[in-house]
Every structure is written in C-alpha cells, then in structure tokens.
Structure 1
Amino acid sequence: MTDRTWEYEGYDAAEERLREWLCTLGNGYFATRGALPECAVDGVHYPGTYVAGCYNRLTSRVAGRAVGNEDMVNLPNWLPLRFRLDEGPWLTPDAGAVTGHRLVLHLTSGLLERHTRYNLGEKRELTVRQLRLVHMGDPHLAALRTELTYENLTGELEVEAALDGGVTNAGVPRYRDLDGRHLTHVHTGTAADQATVWLRCRTRTSDIRIGMAVRLTADAPVAVRHEPSRAVQQLRLNLEPGRTVTVDKVVALHTSRDAAISDPLHAAVERGGRAPGFDDLLETHLTAWDQLWRRADLTVPGEPGRILRLHLFHVLQTLSPHTADLDVGVPARGLHGEAYRGHVFWDELFVLPYLNLHFPEVSRALLRYRHRRLEQTRTAARATGRRGALYPWQSGSDGREETQQLHLNPRSGRWLPDNSRLQHHVGSAIAYNVWQYCQASGDTEFLHTKGAEMLLEIARFWADSAVYDESLRRHRIRGVVGPDEYHEAYPGASEPGLDDNAYTNVTAAWVLSRALELLESLPEPRRRELVERAGLDGGELEQWEDVSRTLHVPFHQGVISQFEGYGDLAELDWDAYRKRYQDIRRLDRILEAEGDTVNRYQASKQADVLMLGYLFSPAELRSLFERLGRRLDDDTWRRTVDHYLARTSHGSTLSGLVHGWVLARARRADAWRYCQEALRGDIADLQGGTTAEGIHLGAMAGTLDLVQRGLTGLETRQGALWLDPVPLPELSSYGFSLRYQDHWGVRLRLERRLLEITVPSSDAAPIDVHLPDRSVGLQPGETARLVLPE
C-alpha cells in the first residue's frame, strides 16, 4: 500500500460493508458503492448508487404513529455481472472457492481494481480482474471492465450481466422499520443495437424520472431477456488455458432533474450509445482526475498524509466541479450510503472552508442551494412567531425541516422523540460560510446580493429570538439545542429546549455584528435596495446593535457554561461507565437503556462551547466577548477547555477534529491524540459500525482544513492572508496549494520552522501576508522564505 492507493488483501465477509464504503467511486453527480458485482444483495453485500439531490418522501407507521421521512434514493443497480462454468453454480467469494482476493483503490486515478482467483478443483482456476470507474469527465457515465482467465482447463464460461430496478433503501439497520420502497413504474427494454439494455423508473412521490442504459461489449454474441424489474444480458465465452477474455460494461445515467435534456431515458440511451469504449473512457477519466489533483495538491509525509489523501479523494467524489452545476447541498454522509437519509446538516461548516481555497465555484453553488430555499426559511420562522430566516437542522429537496420526529435507540429498542430540530445554530453556520467564502474568493458580487440577503435574514431571526431579561439586563435566547446534542431539555422539564446556549448566543452576536458591518460597507444604492426589500428600518437596526452587545453568556466556576444551568447538573461517574462499557461514545443511548437520561449530567456528546475556538481565532474570540461585555482571558479559556475535555464522550467524528484543532492552537501536547482520532474516525470505524452506512464528510474535509488553516493559523480577511503557524511535532512538515482570490496555485510549505510561500506568475495584484511578527508583500512570481520564531 502506498500513499496513492488503499488496498485490502484477502476476502473477509465481516469487513465487506466497510470496504464497500471505502471503495465507493463517484464524480459529484452520482456515486456507486464498491460492492462486488457477482454478489447478491444480502446481509454481507449492499450495492448502492446515489444521485446528488435525488430525494423521495414516504410515510411509515412507527411506534403507532404515521411518520414521514425524505430519503436520498438508492437507484437501480447497474453493477451485476456474474459467471459460472458449464452450468455449475454461480461463483462468489462467499461460496468458499476463493484462493486469492485483492482490492486496490487508486486514489490518483479514481479507479477500483479487483483481483480474485476462484478454485474450480483439480488444479483448475479462474482468475478475475476488474477495473471500475465512475467517470470524472462525463458525470453521467460509469464503466466496469472484467477480464477472465482460465488456468489448466478449457471450457465454456457463462456470463450474465443485469440492470436491476428491484432495489430498496435498506442500508441502515435502524431504519428498517421504515418504508424503503422509493422506486415505482420500473420498465426495461432493449435498444436498437441489441447490445444495449435500458431501464426506466420513477420515485413514488417526488416523481423524479430515472433513465439508465447499459452497453455490454465482448467477443461473443449477447442474448437479452427481461424479467420483472430487471434487464438481463447473457453471453457464453470459450476460454482456453492462459487466454484472457474481456467483458466491458458501460452505463449511462440521467434523471429528470438534469439540465438540457427532454427525457432521462432518451438521454441515457443516446449517451450510452455514443460513449466510447473502455480504453478511451479511461483516458479521459484519468485526465479529469489529474486536473482535480492539481487544484487540490496536498503533501503530508507518512501515515497522516496517506489518510488525508484518502479523505481528500472522498471529498472530491462527493463535491467535484460538477457539483457547481447542481442544486444540491452538502450531504453529511456523502454519496456513499443512506445514513442520515442523505440530508444536509451543518456539516458544510467544516467543508466549505476547504473548498473556498480550492474550488470556490463549488462553495458558491452550495451557498446558492441555501439561498434558493430562503423563502422556505422565512415561512419556518413565521411559524414560530419570528421574523427572518430559520434554516432547518436537516434539509433535503425543498428546504423544509427534514429532522425525524422519532429516532431509534438500538440498545433499548425504543423509538424516542427527536428534538434536534431545535439546533437553530445551523443558521449561524450558513452565515459564517457566506462570510468566509466571500473573504477567501473576493466574490463581492455574491456578498452584496444573495449572500447579503441570507446574512440579513439570519441576523433578523436572531434579533427577533432574543428576549430582554430585566434582572440580568441582558438579552436571552431560550428553547434551543446546542451542538452537543446530548442535552435537549432540563431534567424533569415537560418541554424540550435549553436557555442561553453559549455557542448559539456568541455566534448569533457574531452574525448580527457582521450583518451591520456589511450594511455599512455597501454602496449606498445597494444598501438602500437591500434595506427596502427586507423592510428594515432604523429601529430594527438599532435593536440588532443592542442585541449584538447584550446577549447573555453564562459562566460557572470560572468557565463558560454550555448553557444556563449547566453547572447545576450532576457529575457523571466517568470511570465507572468506562469500566462497565467498552465504548461510551454514545453515552446517551447507554443511559436511556438504563432508564436514565444524559440530560441530568455534565456530559457532552461532542464539542459545544469549544466550537467557538474552532471557528474564531483567539483574538477574534476575545473581541467577541468584549463586545458582549465579558472578559475572556487565556486562563479562562484554558480552564474552559480542560473542563469540557474531561466531560465529553466524543460520540461524533467531528469531536476529535474540533478538540485537536483547539488544542493545537493552544499549543497543547495532547493535541495529536485528538487529531489522530479525527484522521482514523472512518477508516477504523471508531463510531462502531456507522462508517459502512456512509462517510462522515465534515470530519474528512475538516482534517484537510486542520492542515490548511488549523496548523497554519491561516485567515483570509481585510484583503490579505494572515498566518500564525503552530508547532505540532507529529505533523511538522507539510505543503499545499490554494486559490486565493485571483491567484491560482499559491503554494505554502512548512518544514519545521521554515515557512515558504510561492505566488505563481500572473497578472493579478500582489498578496499581502501578515505573520505575528512581520508583514510581507509578494508579487506574482515571487517566493518568500521566512524563519518562524521559536
């Protein structure tokens, strides 16, 4: 295994679901899991193909209630291709006849290579080599090449390929009580060339039409038959010892959401018919990947670098330049599985900062997804009696709240109320992303139009949510849930929600101050237009100013309280629970199964207060607290970090990332332990089985950003690059390229205390770079080599 490949040796049925996730191939438009083509869907194998933004809503009966859920749809399976000798049993690795098996995921080229040797008895073997791609150049194409070689025998091999529309959403065990039958009106047929079969279907309620066409190519005639929901192609190959025969399968996929087509089936048949052969497809696919890697160059030595390259590979497969043409958000679990039902959460908060500096056109498209749903968020805010924009905690096709009403605790088997829709802080994350994107890209047009509209409406919601408390002489935001997620209510309370979540209030104050700053900076005609369109008046803007300075931030025992009353909760006996349970990451499920509730304890699932140290530099965080009339010195922040480090179970892959980031910035020796957890979260399946259901995209992109911004202290503000590198002995050498405003390929390289910055030659303006002890101006074509202080 190298830093350019990810490999598995030997067949292990218990690991197959995890490998299928890890070997998913995609191009930003659609992705297909790395399931073995000859294996049927069962408890071991789960092929899945998912198109970005393809959702369907169904109603299920759960715990005596009618519950509606919108899911990213598992589309017809184009992979099936199986083989057998002389009418014998179909060969699969599960049949026990495998003498060798190897999977190689080629990261630089987006290829999945597979080698398997089947033992046919009496020293006879069949060797299978497959190459699979989901085309990065043409987002509607994928291909599978199968090479079959006999050893020590001659005979006839039967090959059967299929296009299977009889699929359901069944990839997440805890969702299996829910209706997963999303496809209907499945029809198949044969194209005029007889080598191509097609399948059309539609989703049951969203009425998205899907068209697939598969062309099979081999040195033998192809017979076709049609079964209910399946189109089957068969051929017989005469094999000789040592001679290799090749079967190529090319698929074209379209949906009615695509632009510039009339009918998805017609488009798929036409595209599949004119698609070149496998070799030519491979060449253009490799070219497209080469161009991607040039824009996303990252050099980190050793095992961390190998994992980071894998993370980057999967980020690019989910959010590629093709995404810029789509109306989609950031699916929290990528296009790799059905966990979280393919919904869009706040994970873009961890994803866009990386994309901003490499693929700003993708960031812009993802923010446009949020802007297109702005009217839906206004409606949601009005339903709560407030003005402005209330963005949903989980979003799907149209921007309504998609958070489930019930969730299953697998430990107790009970369906429980889900109150995570009260995480209104998702609005602040969107505002933060608008601001960061525009600072990094220099896209003032977006900032002054769509970005401004979102920022102002989110600010309006926060100002309207704040209630003045005479006794505190402060504004308060009540009835919310913070990023922690464990705490949804006060112990014994009849209604969910918490008061004055520190993260929520501080970020709300930041949004309000940024909105006011933006209005002040706008040209007068544009400012007047925005104010008139939003119906803002002087009194409302004065209210924003007041609330941005008086939101309540609770403290207890000299540390920032996660929320008002947090310090009054009981302390958990952490040692006892660690002794009793092997893994306490999901402490909430453990306590509920015991008849208890995590709401009673000072225990967090993931970083909540400490998220403030992730979003804001120490100087900016101090400034925010000063604006709120509170002093946040280094000792207070250190005590706060220590307090929550001791009380967090890390039940989210994002938790290790945030803790590693915060500790690295604080120059703490234990930072690397949390950075390692963030790096290994998915590949080691630290969350206990969830990785097979889809990647954790936020954590993957966040580890890339840890190198890009966390360790370098990189900020883009005031028209300059600001750098404040921190020493992390375990990751002291790294380099990467980025796009900053009009500069493509700015190269940063750190080798212990030597920082090298190269600005490529261009006609763009010089770049101002600020470090804590000096500032330099770099002309295009210049390189600065700076020795950092001890």
Structure 2
Amino acid sequence: MTATPSTWDYDHYDPAEERLRESLCTLGNGYFATRGALPECTADDVHYPGTYVAGCYNRLTSTVAGRQVENEDMVNLPNWLPLRFRPAGGDWLTPDTAPVLDHRQTVHLDSGTLERRTRYRLDDARVLSVRQLRLVHMADPHLAAMRTEFTAEGGSTELDVEAALDGGVTNAGVPRYRELDGRHLTHVHTGSADDGTAWLRCRTRTSDIRIGLAARTAADSPVSPAREHLRVTQRTTLHLEPGRTLAVDKTVALHTSHDPAISDPLQAAVDRVADAPVFDELLVTHRTAWGQLWRRAELDVPGEAGSILRLHLFHVLQTLSPNTADLDVGVPARGLHGEAYRGHVFWDELFVLPYLNLHFPEVSRALLHYRHRRLERARAAARAIGRRGALYPWQSGSDGREETQQLHLNPHSGRWLPDHSHLQRHVGSAVAYNVWQYCEASGDAEFLHTKGAEMLLQIARFWADSASWDERLGRHRIRGVVGPDEYHDAYPGVVEPGLDDNAYTNVTAAWVLTRTLEVMHALPAPRRRELVERTGLDGGELEQWEDVSRTLHVPFHEGVISQFEGYADLAELDWRDYRRRYDDIRRLDRILEAEGDSVNRYQASKQADVLMLGYLFSPSELSWLFERLGYRLDDETWRRTVDYYLARTSHGSTLSGLVHGWILARARRAEAWAFCQEALKGDVADVQGGTTGEGIHLGAMAGTLDLVQRGLTGLETRAGALWLDPVPLPELSSYGFSVRYQGHWGVRLRLEHGRMEIAVPLSDRPPLDVRLPDRAVRLRPGDTCRLVLPE
C-alpha cells in the first residue's frame, strides 16, 4: 500500500487483504455507499460486495443458543456492481481463477473515484488489460456509474461481457453473525424496458422498505437483456483488436420508499437512469461536487499523518455529507462500509459532530434531528424502568428502541454470553453534549431554544430522577450503570449487572444538569412558558436539578479519581504475563472469559473511561465542574489519574488511542504521538486484526480530524468567541485548516513552528473574537492576524 495526499494505492492482488481493501476502497455520497469489491467477483470467503443505504434497516428473529433473538440490521441491498467478462466461450475471469500479471487499485481522494487496473493472461500469446473507473455520485446521490475499458495485447479477442443487477444477496459480511438470519430481502422481481434499461425491485421482509434499481449499459456493440432467478443481466460481445481500447459504461440509479418527492421507487430509478448524462458528464459534475466538499473541509497536514487524515476525512464525508442533511439517519459506528455492529448508531456522534459542527453544521443539525425524532421513544424507555425523562438507547436503529443484542459471541471460547452494554446510559449525556457543542459553534439559537432545549430538559430530568440520596455520604449516587470502559459490567461474584457511581457517568450527568439549567434560565419568556407547559416542569424540579448537579458522588482512591465505586478493591492484573502469553491483549475480556475468568475481577479497562472527561472538557472546564461538585481537581491529581489508568488499559477500542493521544498532548507530551499514531493507523493497518474489513471505525476517523482541529489547538467555541490554547507536538508542529464558525465561512488557521496565522474571509458578518491564554484579538472580515505563541 502506498499513499499520497490525493491517492490511496494497493498494488498486487492479495486475497487475504481483500476484505480490508474493500472497506477502505468504499465509495459513498452520504445517501448510499458501495464497498470496493471487484465487480467480476461474487460474495465468498474472500470477497464481499455490499451496498448500504443510510437508515435502511430490517428486523428479523433468529434462534441462537436455544433462545429467540431479535436483531435489526442495516440491510445489504441488491448488488449493482456485477460486470464479468471472458474470452468468448471460455471461463469467466476472476483474480482467483485466472492468471493475474498485474493488479492495482487506487482511490482518488480528490475526485471521489476508485480506479482499478488488472492484466489477465489469456494464453501464451494474449493478455487482456482491464481498467475500471467507478463513482458513487456526490451531486446526485441516487446515481452510481462505472466505466470498464478492455484492451487486448498479443492478438485479437472476442470478449463476452455481462453486466447484472443481483437481488440474491444476504447479510453475511460478519462471520460471528452468521448464525443469525441474514435474509432481509423478499419479493425480488426483475425486467427490462425497450430503451435498454434493466431493472430490479424488492422489499425488506419486515420493515417493508421498497427498493428499486435501474441500470443502463452502453457499449460499442449491441446490448441484449436476459432475466435469471433473482438477477437481470445485460450482455454484449466486444471484438478487441490489439492496442485498441473498447469501453462498457454502466450507470445505475437507486431509490427506496423512504426517499422524499417520489411515488414509486422503481419508477423513480427507471426515470432517473434514463435521464442520467453519459459517463464523462457524470464524472465532471461528480468531481465538481467533491471539489466543493474539499474546500469546505480544507486540511493541510504534512507527511504520512496528512495522507491518513485525508483518507479519514474522505470516509467521513462519504458517510455524512450534505446529502445526509435531508435524511432521517444517525451516525452509524462503522460507516456505510460494512455490517459490523449491524449498522447501529451508538455514541460515536460524540466524536463526529464536533468536527462536522465547524464545517457542515447543516449535517450536524440533521443528525441531532434524528435524536429529537426519537425523544418520545427515549421517554418510553425511561418510563419502562420507572424513571422520568429520556433514556436514549446504547444502540439505536430505525425507530430509537434499544437495539443492543441480548447475547454476544466470544470467538475465543465459542460461547454466547449475556450482553449488558445496554446499561451504558451515558449515551444521553453524549446527545446533550452534541446539542450544546453544535449550538455554540453554529450560533443556532432557534434549534437550542426548541428541539435542543426539549432534549436537554428530558435528559437532565432522567439524570436527576436516577440519582438517589445517600445519607452516609451526604451525596447523590447513580447506581447500576456501565461506563465507557465496557469491560466492567458487574461487581465480582454479583449476579445483578451494573456498577455504582461511574465517575464519567456522574460527572457528565452533573454537566448536563448544569447546562440545562443555564438554557432554561436563558430561554425567551414565551418559549420558556411553552416548554414548561408542555413538559409539566415546575420550580421544585429545577431546584432538584441544581442540588443534584452539585452533590453527585465522584469516588477517589489513592489520590486518583476512581473509575467507579469499589474499583480500588479489584485485583491487579499481571499485565506482563498476559502480554507475554497472548501478544495482543486488546480484547482482554474475551481472553479471560475463555480461561474461565472474568475481567470484572481486575483493574483493567478496555478503553479510556475516567480519562474521557479530559477528552470532552478543557482543563479549565473540568476543574470548574469538579469544584462545583465540591471536589478539588488540580493538575497533579489529574496527572496521577492519567498515569494510573494508562498502566491499566488494554486499548481494545479504536477510540482509546485517540482519547489517550488527545489527553497526553497536554499531560505527557513526549508519549502523546505514539497514541496519535495508534489512532491514525487503527483502520489503515487494521490493528484489531480483521475488524476493518467489516466496516471502518467512523468515530475514530472523525476523532483524528478533530484531534488536529480542536485537540492540538485547544480550540473551543464558547461565549461567542473562538478560544485557542495550542499544544505544540514536535511530530506535528506545522499544519493548517479552515473552519466555519457562526456564519463565517472558511476561517483559516495555520500553525507553524510557534506561530499562528488566522484569516477571516470577507463577508457581511460582524467581527470575530479570538481568545488566547495571554491575549484577545478581534478580527473583521477580510483581516489576517499573525501571532507569536508563548513557549
């Protein structure tokens, strides 16, 4: 693999690496995405073509370990890619069955295209050269296209070419899910029109989402349609003379019944593909759309880190683009790149929206609308456990109910085990945090005063109602939860799951209560009255919030913040022994369970838990939060806390390196870059050994972008100003990017060797206030300011 700021290249054909390449070569436009599989290959143990529409889910019931288990999955839609070829009358050519002389795949980041070049040996004299260029159109999100160019070397060749739409697909991209029913599509029908258009329609089995695809295939020779079981094909025969290249263009339209402004998805697809321009014209408008995205998300970071960051930005934009702003979708943890986590929405928006807020606020707003539309479902979930307010699910899908699986498979032991991760109730705090961050960055007071205030109020209400008073401690406590660590879901030897006073949960709950009180007091009087009437809020409840926000219990031990009450009583793990025996101990929980032990017995974390507080909040805000709670959190206590958990974390999540790198940039700068590198290479090097092939880790990718944007610059958006407190890392001392802040488009920041340049573009907006630790600067539109930073 080689990379530049504008390309991502894979040389040679390697079946063992194919799944990884397919994920990292995925093309998408925020509405749908297609994995980078070779069009002549079908799904098997090597290849997995997959096409996913944002928000297209289906629910099925399976029998697992003797139990009926219901799961909702993001559906693998009919495969539009198939295009195979063979010497007339011979066998179809694939890299697995025919001699391959050369093979190369290149993702062109600037233009959002995937190029593939392969040379097949046909016989002793002849070679077939194949070049394909593929796009999933960024300007028209319902279109995709592929040009395939064939060149004969050494002799003339008659080449049969067959393009197809294949409805015989299932969800089978994740081996550990294969005991679950993956047959989501039904009522597959195919046909063709007189104008040469082939079509396929189907629907999902229980959600009843209707899907329509239409394809137009153009070649230098006549194209004839044929129908097969669950497939429709278009065939042609090319006469290749040596040195002369012939092309086959395939253009596809995709619609579902979820789409606005259509009647029938099949007719919409047929009409759209009939009206679609030829490939060259599609390529021009597609490149233009990508050029606009790159300008809005300008990022200039040198070296290998810069190349990886550009790839990360590419995949973030393919999952969440301006096309997403019209959809009712959340942030799928694994993008639209594969079937891991079943396409569910977790808390990953916590790592994604802070980046989007400063470039594509309309997308952030749409993603928050997804949460607001499911507010009533979250309130129902709270009522189901006897609480007021809103309890957002750990895993969300189509309608906002809890989608967390009841069982999960440990591949090490082969056992299906109970899954208690639905007790990660801190996801509500993540929703509230994103509401606040979006409104601070965008200045969207209308959203804050309406939908934002409604969500904040109900999340705050849930936390206040979840807190119980402990007379002995003289404090409020939140019991029976699971924190971000995820390894610990119960106390040793206790049957009932859940932990008490998870520090991350309690501190973020206090933050939610505090910020919600601020919003309630700042609301315009008419709006406040409406909200109070609608929610039945009374003054006594606000007084309770104030009390709880100041008295939530945060446990400490040995001068550090405890991950949860009783953490200090757990046994120490022999980390050296486990690293010696297992080498990779990222999934320590699975290793211990396979040994008949439990990670619940040990001071061992999967990822940052307490330290997540330092990721979400600046040092000054975190210190203020603890002071408000009645605790002193000075620099020395925080440093001890960082050191303590750094020695007890296995980094079993791709988010862990990101959070640790972010924190260590300020706490222990010399060690920060190793963790930043871990975050940067998590997917491109597939550090977790096969997981990236099931879908990229969107939160980690967006988080690395935000590490440059906010982490290293100390950038905060609060009190109507941009606050900056840069942290120079020797390995990344020169970089630049632009942000969109409260109507200022393209504010450019550049840091280089202790100097900072800030340029505000010309506009009719008011001046921009910039605050640094040692000075304040006001910039009018059109101004450029150059500052020397303190050592």
Task: With the length of structure 2 as denominator, give the TM-score of the two structures.
Answer: 0.99
Residues 252 and 271, structure 1, Cα contact 8 Å, conserved in 2: yes
Distance 2:241 2:731 in 1: 54
CA distance in 2, matches of 1:429, 1:151: 58
Shift of 1:238: 0.9
Query: Match of 1:93, as an amino acid?
Result: P
Is this contact kept in 2: 1:667–1:726, CA < 8 A? Answer: no
CA deviation string 1:111-141 (max 9, x = no partner)? 0001000111223100000000000000000
Bigger drift between 38-47 and 358-367 goes to: 38-47
Do 1:149 and 1:241's aligned partners in 2 also have CA atoms closer than 8 Å? yes
In structure 2, give the amino acid aligned to 1:19.
Answer: R
Could you tell me how far 1:668 is from its partner in structure 2? 2.1
Q: Distance in 2 between matches of 1:62 and 1:2?
A: 46
Per the alignment, residue 745 of structure 2 pairs with: 744
Q: Kindly report which structure 2 residues correspond to 1:305-316, keeping only aligned pairs within 5 A, or say none.
A: 305-316=306-317
Q: Identify the residue that residue 616 of structure 1 maps to in structure 2.
A: 617
Query: 8 Å contact 1:656–1:675 — kept in the other structure?
Result: yes
SS at match of 1:605: coil
Alignment of 1:342-361 (within 5 A): 342-361=343-362
Aligned to 2:569: 568
Give the 3 Å change call, closer, same or farther, for CA 228–59 of structure 1 in structure 2: same
Amino acid at match of 1:63: A
Which whole-Å CA distance do the structure 1 matches of 2:27 and 2:42 have between them?
19
Match of 1:620, SS state, is helix
Match of 2:460 in 1: 459
**Alignment partners' CA distance in 2, 1:672 and 1:65:** 46
How many angstroms apart in 1 are the aligned matches of 2:516 and 2:158? 72
Q: Deviations over 1:444-468 (max 9, x none)?
A: 0000000000000000000000000
> What do the CA deviations read for 1:581-616 (whole angstroms, capped 9, x no partner)?
020000000000000000000000000000000000
Aligned to 1:731, what secondary structure does the other structure show? coil
Displacement of 1:225 after TM fit?
1.2
Q: Which residue of 1 aligns with 2:60?
A: 58
Q: How does 1:241-640 map to 2 (within 5 A)?
A: 241-640=242-641
- Cα shift readout 1:189-247 (whole Å, capped 9, x = no counterpart): 00121x21000000000000000001000011112111110001111111111111100
Provide the secondary structure at the position in 2 that maps to 1:189: strand
Does the CA-based 8 Å contact 1:37-1:81 persist in structure 2? Answer: yes
Consecutive aligned runs of 4 or more in structure 1 exceeding 4 Å deviation: none
Structure 2 residue ranges without an equivalent (≥5): none
Q: How does 1:625-774 map to 2 (within 5 A)?
A: 625-774=626-775
The residue that corresponds to 1:184 in the other structure is 186
Equivalent residues of 1:8, 1:103 under 8 A apart: yes
The whole-number CA distance in structure 1 between the counterparts of 2:636 and 2:333 is: 35
Counterpart of 1:94 in structure 2 is 96
Whether the 8 Å CA contact 1:198–1:211 is kept in 2: the answer is: yes
> For the residues of structure 1 that align with 2:66 and 2:714, how far apart are their CA atoms?
52
Taking structure 1 as the reference length, what is the TM-score of the superposition? 1.00
Aligned to 2:37: 35
Please name the residue that 1:13 is paired with.
15
Number of residue pairs aligned between Structure 1 and Structure 2: 789
Moved more, 221-230 or 423-432: 221-230
* Counterpart AA for 2:543: E
Contact 1:660/1:671 (8 A) holds in 2: yes
- Find the aligned partners of 2:378 and 2:156 in 1 and give their Cα distance: 67
The equivalent residue for 1:80 is: 82
Match of 1:46 in 2: 48
Q: Distance in 1 between matches of 2:233 and 2:115?
A: 24
| Structure-2 residue corresponding to 1:115 | 117
The equivalent residue for 2:155 is 153
Tell me, in whole angstroms, the C-alpha distance in 2 between the residues paired with 1:710 and 1:470: 40
1:385 and 1:41 mapped to 2: Cα distance?
47
1:275-301 CA deviation, whole Å, 9 max, x = no partner? 011000000000000000000000000
1:142 to 2:144 alignment: yes
Instruction: Using the TM superposition, give the Cα deviation of residue 260 of structure 1 relative to its aligned residue in structure 2, in angstroms.
Output: 0.2
| Cα separation, 2, equivalents of 1:606 and 1:217 | 52
**Secondary structure of the corresponding residue to residue 122 of structure 2:** strand
Amino acid at match of 1:739: R
Equivalent-residue separation in structure 2 for 1:40 and 1:301 (angstroms): 39
Q: Distance in 2 between matches of 1:527 and 1:86?
A: 74
* Deviation at residue 667 of structure 1 after TM alignment: 4.8
SS where residue 213 of structure 1 aligns? Answer: strand
Q: Shift of the alpha carbon at 1:666?
A: 2.2
1:458-516 Cα offsets, whole Å, 9 max, x none, are 00000000000000000000000000000000001111000000000000000000010
Q: Distance in 2 between matches of 1:727 and 1:289?
A: 31
- Please report how far the alpha carbon of residue 764 of structure 1 lies from its aligned counterpart in structure 2 after TM superposition: 0.2
Q: Structure 1 residue 254: deviation in Å?
A: 0.1
User: Residue 8 of structure 1 aligns to a residue in which SS?
Assistant: strand
**Alignment partner of 2:778: what SS?**
strand
Shift of residue 687, structure 1, vs aligned partner = 1.0
Offset of 1:96 from its aligned partner?
A: 4.0
Q: Is the 8 A contact 1:665 1:710 kept in 2?
A: no
Q: Which one is further off, 265-274 or 150-159?
A: 150-159
Equivalent position SS for 2:669? coil
2:274 partner SS:
helix
Separation in structure 2 between the aligned mates of residue 524 and residue 41 of structure 1, nearest angstrom: 60
CA offset digits 1:28-64 (Å, max 9, x no partner): 0000000000112110000000000000000000000
Give the distance between the partners of 1:183 and 1:230, measured in 2 at CA.
Answer: 13
Greater displacement, 285-294 / 517-526:
517-526
Q: Distance in 2 between matches of 1:710 and 1:773?
A: 19
Could you tell me how far 1:727 is from its partner in structure 2?
1.2
Q: CA deviation at 1:155?
A: 2.8
Query: Which whole-Å deviations, capped at 9, do the CAs of 1:58-79 have from their partners, x for residues lacking one?
Result: 0000000000000000000000
1: CA distance between counterparts of 2:383 and 2:519? 25
How far apart are 1:651 and its partner, in Å? 0.2
Which runs of no fewer than 5 residues in structure 1 stay unpaired? none
User: How far apart are the structure 2 equivalents of 1:665 and 1:534?
Assistant: 42
Cα distance in 2 for residues equivalent to 1:652 and 1:111: 30
Aligned residue in 2 for 1:781: 782
SS in 1 for 2:659: helix
Give the alignment's Cα RMSD to 1 decimal: 0.6
Q: CA deviation at 1:665?
A: 2.3
Residue 174 of structure 2 is matched in structure 1 by: 172
Deviation at 1:529, TM superposition (A): 1.5
Q: Give the 3-state SS of the residue equivalent to 2:735 in structure 1.
A: strand
Distance in 2 (CA, whole Å) between partners of 1:499 and 1:779 is: 51
Q: Secondary structure at the match of 1:220?
A: coil
Equivalents in 1 of 2:485, 2:41: separation in Å?
Answer: 40
SS at match of 2:658: helix
Which amino acid counterpart does residue 506 of structure 2 have in structure 1? N
Cα distance in 1 for partners of 2:411, 2:695 equals: 18
